[in-house]
């Protein structure tokens, strides 16, 4: 399971993607619409800002806005940024690899080989989908 933080980040980013190019959106507006605790969301947006995905404007008329284009933000980067590895086992992770503590030979480990298939498929799906795809799917589902 993704942490609440990651889930909220995905909903907040989708919200901002829908308002892309329309100027800053208030934290309070996002929090209310997406039902995210406001103070918690503040911290999440700050993290997204540090990662260079969103930017903000202070003072009256301020708020948050997407810095990258919606087509450029993949789900995998958001999830990795908050929760870390996608893989189910450390010995199978691309970005957070750790040597297997239990098995004698990673090259012939059967568990590893299955978990690697799972990771590859998951990464594939999460890399091929961006914020733009989320909106696209939403529109497709609505118009039919």
**Residues engaged in binding a second copy (CB under 8 A):** 1-2, 7-8, 10-11, 14, 34-36, 75, 79, 84-85, 87-90, 101-103, 107-111, 113-114, 117-118, 121-122, 125-126, 129, 133-138, 141-142
Q: Which does 122 bind (CB under 5 to 8 A by kind): a second copy, DNA, none?
A: a second copy
Q: Least CB distance from residue 110 to DNA, whole Å?
A: 21
Q: Which residue in 16, 41, 17 sits closest to 27, CA to CA?
A: 41
Cβ–Cβ under 8 Å, residues 8 and 48: no
User: For DNA, what does the binding mask look like between residues 3 and 32, x meaning CB under 7 A?
Assistant: xxx------------------x-xxx----
Cβ–Cβ under 8 Å, residues 132 and 17: yes
User: For DNA, what does the binding mask look like between residues 85 and 124, x meaning CB under 7 A?
Assistant: ----------------------------------------
Residues in contact with DNA by CB under 7 A are 3-5, 24, 26-28, 37, 39-40, 42-43, 45-46, 49, 56-64, 83
């Amino acid at each position: 399971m993704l942490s609440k933080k990651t889930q909220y980040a995905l909903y907040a980013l989708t919200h901002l993607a829908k308002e892309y190019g329309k100027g800053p959106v208030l934290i309070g507006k996002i929090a209310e619409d997406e039902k995210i605790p406001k103070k918690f969301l503040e911290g999440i947006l700050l993290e997204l800002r540090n990662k260079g995905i969103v930017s903000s404007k202070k003072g009256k008329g301020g708020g948050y806005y997407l810095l990258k284009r919606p087509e450029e933000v993949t789900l995998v980067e958001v999830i990795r940024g908050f929760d870390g590895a996608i893989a189910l086992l450390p010995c199978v992770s691309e970005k957070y690899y750790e040597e297997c503590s239990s098995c004698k030979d990673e090259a012939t480990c059967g568990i590893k080989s299955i978990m690697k298939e799972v990771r590859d498929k998951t990464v594939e799906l999460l890399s091929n989908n961006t914020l733009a795809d989320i909106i696209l799917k939403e529109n497709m589902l609505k118009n039919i």
